[in-house]
Structure 1
Amino acid sequence: MRQKKRTIRMTGLRSSARRGTRAEDLRQQLADEIVRGILAPGTALDETELAGRFGVSRTPVREAIRLLGASGLVETRQHRSALVARPSQEQLAAMFTVMADLEALCAGYAAVSMTARERRALETLHRAMAPLVREGDPQQFHEANVEFHALIYAGSHNPYLAELTAMTRSRLSPFRRAQFRTLGRLSRSYGEHELVVDAILKGDQTTAAAAMLGHIGTVEQAYLQYVDTETATAASA
């Protein structure tokens, strides 16, 4: 009964899009394999082969590859198989720098622009994420985390900034999701969120921006730590 209540309560945290289509599920699986190095740069992604591997038609595979291309993880070529194209560390560092600045702007604006209802929604979602930390479920935490940041983008009440930030986040999504597999990362992320939420609820623009800037900085470091761990594990296997 307790688990059923949890499921009902958490359903409100996810949009239908977040529940994921088959193409989105495939995109996440392939993105994880690219990020972890299982699919190395230059590897050809054959639609027929992938469809057989995952037991689906070529349609969701084709859409998943298109989505990966939009994230910079795949290089699509006309009438030829797409190739894995994982960004370099320099490219990732540049994207994380821009991501941190954009999210800091959103948090700062949200601190002075959010309505009372929006602030309550943000706080409610934040509190609902605490059980996910205790359960140690990186996928559920990732899904709620996406919504957490989306509320802050919308709360900035600057549509252009929100759109630009969401687009940049989409490019970095596979790398941001991977960092949640780092030991202890869920708890640290939640603590960093706490600082952001507290500043927004107080209407403190400067502190909210600084807290978010620091948060995204640790996201990047957690991802790099995850990559180092995966590389070391693969080398010793």
Structure 2
Amino acid sequence: MANRHANTIADELEDMILDGTFADNDRLDEVQLAKRFSVSRTPIREALQRLTQAGLVELIPRRGAFVRQPGAIELIEMFEVMAELEAASARFAAMRMTDAALDELNAANGKCMKAMQERDADSYYRENERFHHIIYAQSGNSFLEAEAKRLHRRLKPFRRLQLRLRGRLRQSMSEHESILEALTNGDPDMAAKVTRQHVAVQGEKFHHLIATLKIAAE
């Protein structure tokens, strides 16, 4: 139960950091947050740890937790690298993927479709994350898989948030279909190309979303 609370709190804090409710360098006080969410300090600490892993919070010894908003250039650079890591994973997976893993990928994509039809962006993200992690694992390269997962975790708040843009779920599903087709056909070049485009557009959509949030806040 505590973990579920921590995950929910972390998601809400992510939203508040990204929409400007908490500004860069704001201190996140555990006691005040515990009161705000009507929980003990334990799930607050777990939520802050998750946000630290995502790079949105910095824990400074003897001072506490502080909001760290990545700059636009830093985000662009991270999405550029993520797109290449994903493309490499898909390229290798197209050559090495097992039939069982392909079935698993199709199942994850089917759940993405259901979430899209229900307009449930958060459920879509969870299944989308599983979709991508299967591809990392099927690359057959454990170093690449670890690096892709690490950066995926770092970009999670931004990848999750951009799915809320109007029309993005449907667009993402269309991109998934192209990735699945390339992997099914065992086409490494096409798999890399469409996967790279899929991730690169997430960075573009995120910048649109941040602009929308700022306008709403004003």
TM-score normalized by the length of structure 1: 0.88
Cα distance between partner residues in 2 of 1:125 and 1:51: 35
Equivalent in 41, 64, 67 of residue 81 of structure 1: 64
Q: 1:125 aligns with which of 78, 83, 108?
A: 108
Establish whether residue 169 from structure 1 lines up as the match of residue 159 from structure 2: no
Letter in 2 for 1:154: A
Alignment of 1:142-221 (within 5 A): 142-221=125-204
Structure 1 segments of 4 or more deviating over 3 A? none
Query: Over residues 142-182 of structure 1, what are the superposed CA-to-partner deviations in whole Å (9 max), with x where a residue is unaligned?
Result: 11111111111111111111111000011000000000110
Equivalent residue number for residue 10 of structure 1: none
TM-superposed CA distance for 1:208, in Å, is 0.2
Gaps of 5+ in 1: 1-19
Q: Give the RMSD, CA atoms, in angstroms.
A: 1.1
Q: 1:230 Cα deviation (Å)? A: 0.9
**What SS does structure 1 have at the residue aligned with 2:58?**
strand
Percent identity among equivalent residues? Answer: 37
| Cα shift readout 1:188-232 (whole Å, capped 9, x = no counterpart) | 000011111100010000000000000011111111111111111
Letter in 2 for 1:60: P
Aligned length: 216
Does residue 46 (structure 1) correspond to residue 35 (structure 2)? The answer is: no
Q: Mind listing any 5+ residue stretches in structure 2 that lack a counterpart?
A: none
Aligned counterparts of 2:141 and 2:154: Cα–Cα separation in 1: 20
Aligned: 1:97 with 2:80: yes
Name the aligned partner's letter for residue 142 of structure 1: Y
1:32 partnered with 2:32: no
Distance 2:43 2:64 in 1: 15
Q: Any idea what SS the aligned residue of 1:129 has?
A: helix
How much has 1:124 moved relative to structure 2?
2.2
Q: For residue 76 of structure 1, report the CA deviation from its aligned partner.
A: 1.2
- Compare 77-86 and 210-219 and name the one that shifted more: 77-86
How far apart in 2 are the matches of 1:47 and 1:27? Answer: 13
Alpha-carbon distance, 1:136 to partner: 0.8
